[in-house]
Structure formats: C-alpha cells, structure tokens
Amino acid sequence: MAEPIEGARSLVFERQMPHPPEKIWRALTEPWLIEEWLMKNDFVAQVGRRFSFRATPLPGWSGVANCKVVTVEAPRRLAYRWGDGTESDSGLTTLVTWTLTPRDGGTLVRMEQSGFRAQDGRSFQRMGGGWPRVLERLERVAGGVA
C-alpha cells in the first residue's frame, strides 16, 4: 500500500513494487501504458516537451492537465510540471517527480507532487486521495510489461 509521507504542501507516496526499474520506467513513459494507469495523454519523454493529460472534467477542473517535461534520467528519475487546463481553473501548477530505486529484488517507487499553495486545499486533498490508487494501477500495468 502506498503511504503518504507528511510534508508541507507536497504529497509524497512510496510503494515497493516487485518489478525492475526498466518495466516501471516503460509504464511511466509510454503513452499507451500511461493511459492504462493514469489518463489519456500525448506524453514524450523529452526535456522541454509539452503534453497534456485528459480525463472527464470535475467541479473546479476542466479535465485537462497541461504539462511540461523537466527531467528525464532513464530509468531512474522523471519529472514534469502539472498545471490546470484553462484560465477558469484554479491556476494550480505543481511538479510531479518520479524516482525509481532498485531495492529488495524490485523497485521502490517514490512519487512527489510539490508546489501546492495554501489556496490549493481542495486539489491537495483530491490528489492526495487519488495517488495511492494510481500507484496500485501503475504496479499492475508495470507487471504486464514484457
């Protein structure tokens, strides 16, 4: 089970997965696999590349997250800026960082979403409740990678 680690205005979850980093990396960076555990997307693992995640809109969220890749260190570290989709959204922009560390015959997966402001309480709560399920799906998808 992914457990939150307390931190000021950041969400941090760690999960030990029984897969090598290379399998998890593929699940984190191949668009068709990302769609299986997170959302529809046009992701490319290239620093500076802009992409979007797309899902069903929710109250206060357009259903689009506009993102930009900031770090690609295969197969150990991936980071991207994550922002709201439109001017009418909250103006939230965070940094999502994935760190993969080989450990105990598998991989320790660490996901940190940082940069929440005090006024981002609703998004902070929503994302904090969602990431553990996302990590469970990521583990399942990575397990199916050849």
CA torsion, points 25, 30, 32, 38, in degrees to nearest 10? Answer: 50
- List pLDDT tens digits, range 49-82: 999 999 998 877 788 999 999 999 999 999 999 9
Question: By mean pLDDT, which of 14-23, 99-108, 110-119, 122-131 is the weakest?
Answer: 122-131
Q: Where is pLDDT greater, at 134 or 127?
A: 134
CA–CA gap between residue 98 and residue 72 (Å, rounded)? 10
Residue 27 maps to which CATH number? 3.30.530.20
- Name the pTM for this structure: 0.88
Domain membership of residue 113 as a residue range:
3-143
Q: What is the mean pLDDT of residues 26-52?
A: 97
CA-nearest of 88, 101, 99, 39 to 67 is 39
Is 126 within 8 Å of 120 (Cβ atoms)?
no
Q: Is the pLDDT of residue 91 over 70?
A: no
